[in-house]
């Protein structure tokens, strides 16, 4: 067999394996979103509105490594990732679970660290269900800090980029965003979709500029309420608050 033909076959096989991995990652994400919407999670969240973040290393499905979670909490605490970890933790079937403000068998946020390195974070404390308001600055800050700290942890655990990032806003129909933005010529309006499911982002290096990476998706949240884009970026796409 000619060397050129052999290389082509190897390339096609690699592309096929990558597609299979992406399918597994997509299926995992979709399955988790369905469970979170139904509150089929270790500690259910208060209310219906939820912010959900997933960081899924490609290796979690391609060449999975399963961590002994018995000493994982000590290892994580040594990294001082205060923006990632929460006040309490417990072990469960999937791995290690951090949570905050547990009451009546529910909580306001949690971070699930799976045995294969996947990180899932979910929050419900950015919503005012009575006023139908989303606290958009808090949402943007939380997503930025969670990604930065999650990437530090996944690097420490020995993962290599590629990491697939998702975030979803669930149960936001008829919500407005709370902002100081004033523009009398804009037609600001509530969100008409029940869920905002954003396209996945492939993270190819750990030192990525997270704020720049997220700008397009943050703009889309504001767009959903009739704004031209996030008020917390300047005209050059740089983060400002």
Nearest-angstrom CA–CA distance, 61 and 142: 27
Please tell me the pTM assigned to this model.
0.85
- Residues with Cβ within 8 Å of 20's Cβ and at least 6 positions away in sequence, in order, are none
* Domain presence at residue 29: yes
* Domain presence at residue 164: yes
* Domain presence at residue 198: no
* Domain presence at residue 238: no
Counting the structural domains of the chain, the total is 1
* Domain presence at residue 176: no
For residue 86, the 8-state DSSP code is: -
Please tell me the predicted confidence (pLDDT) of residue 179: 73
Please tell me the predicted confidence (pLDDT) of residue 13: 40
Q: Which residues constitute the domain of residue 164?
A: 3-170
Three-state secondary structure call for residue 19? helix
Cβ contact 139:221 at 8 Å: yes
Q: Give residue-wise pLDDT tens across range 137-187.
A: 999 998 999 999 899 989 988 888 889 999 999 999 999 988 765 554 456
* Domain presence at residue 111: yes
Mean pLDDT of 84-93: 80
pLDDT above 90 for 239 = yes
- What's the mean per-residue pLDDT of the chain? 83
- Residues with Cβ within 8 Å of 63's Cβ and at least 6 positions away in sequence, in order, are none
For residue 143, the 8-state DSSP code is: H
* Domain presence at residue 38: yes
Q: Say how many C-beta atoms besides its own lie within 10 A of residue 19's C-beta.
A: 10
Mean pLDDT of 111-120: 93
Nearest-angstrom CA–CA distance, 211 and 186: 25
pLDDT above 50 for 10 = no
């Amino acid at each position: 067999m000619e060397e050129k033909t052999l290389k082509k076959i190897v390339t096609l096989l690699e592309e096929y394996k990558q597609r299979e991995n992406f399918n597994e990652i997509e299926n995992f994400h979709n399955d988790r979103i369905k469970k979170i919407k139904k509150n089929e999670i270790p500690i259910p969240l208060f209310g219906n509105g939820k912010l959900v973040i997933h960081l899924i290393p490609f290796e979690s499905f391609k060449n999975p490594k399963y961590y002994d979670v018995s000493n994982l909490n000590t290892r994580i605490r040594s990294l001082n990732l205060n923006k990632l970890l929460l006040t309490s933790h417990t072990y469960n079937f999937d791995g290690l679970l951090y949570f905050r403000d547990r009451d009546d068998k529910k909580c306001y946020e949690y971070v699930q660290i799976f045995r294969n390195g996947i990180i899932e974070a979910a929050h419900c404390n950015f919503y005012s269900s009575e006023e139908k308001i989303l606290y958009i600055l808090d949402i943007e800050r939380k997503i930025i800090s969670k990604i930065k700290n999650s990437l530090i942890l996944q690097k420490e655990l020995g993962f290599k980029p590629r990491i697939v990032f998702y975030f979803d806003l669930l149960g936001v129909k008829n919500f407005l965003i709370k902002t100081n933005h004033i523009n009398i010529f804009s037609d600001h309006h509530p969100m008409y979709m029940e869920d905002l499911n954003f396209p996945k982002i492939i993270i190819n290096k750990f030192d990525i500029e997270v704020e720049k990476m997220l700008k397009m998706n943050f703009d889309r949240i504001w767009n959903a309420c009739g704004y031209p884009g996030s008020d917390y970026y300047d005209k050059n796409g740089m983060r400002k608050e």
